[in-house]
């Protein structure tokens, strides 16, 4: 396991998700049309992207950590180690889904529309984990 405990998943992945709120790609997350939940194992953690009304809140989504998750339109379940690789662009989503390393529930076609824009997000994650003092999380090329 690359993450010691649930709190570390929230500290690393949760803060990374929150950093995306201010990125141009946040509008694409909003366009999914509903809550996107991530259920991680080893260690257990729940994170969700919850769409906001940008005209009201000034942002496209916010992040919910832990229990008390709103109902999800789209949900992904996977090991936290896989998420660490995915957010670096080191995991092929289609293969991971076909191998059932990632299980998805909901309209996956909506999530697949996000994939091309994630190419711009993947380089941000290694910088993020380095800034948190966890360069060991960076997967070598």
Burial class (CB in 10 A: 0-12, 13-18, 19+), 51: buried
Note the pLDDT of residue 94.
Answer: 86
Extract the residue ranges of the chain whose pLDDT is less than 70. none
Note the pLDDT of residue 117.
Answer: 81
Note the pLDDT of residue 30.
Answer: 80
**Which CATH architecture best describes the domain 6-131?**
2-Layer Sandwich (3.30)
Note the pLDDT of residue 70.
Answer: 95
Note the pLDDT of residue 114.
Answer: 78
Q: What is the model's pTM?
A: 0.94
State the CB neighbour count (10 A cutoff) for residue 30.
18
């Amino acid at each position: 396991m690359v993450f010691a405990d649930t709190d570390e998943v929230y500290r690393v992945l949760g803060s990374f998700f929150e950093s995306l709120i201010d990125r141009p790609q946040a509008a694409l997350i909003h366009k999914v049309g509903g809550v996107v939940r991530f259920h991680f194992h080893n260690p257990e953690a729940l994170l969700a992207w919850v769409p906001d009304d940008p005209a009201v809140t000034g942002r496209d989504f916010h992040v919910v950590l832990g229990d008390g998750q709103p109902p999800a339109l789209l949900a992904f379940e996977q090991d936290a180690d896989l998420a660490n690789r995915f957010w670096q662009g080191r995991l092929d989503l289609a293969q991971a889904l076909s191998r059932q390393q990632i299980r998805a529930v909901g309209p996956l076609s909506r999530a697949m529309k996000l994939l091309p824009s994630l190419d711009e997000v993947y380089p941000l994650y290694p910088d993020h984990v380095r800034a948190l003092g966890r360069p060991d999380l960076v997967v070598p090329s």
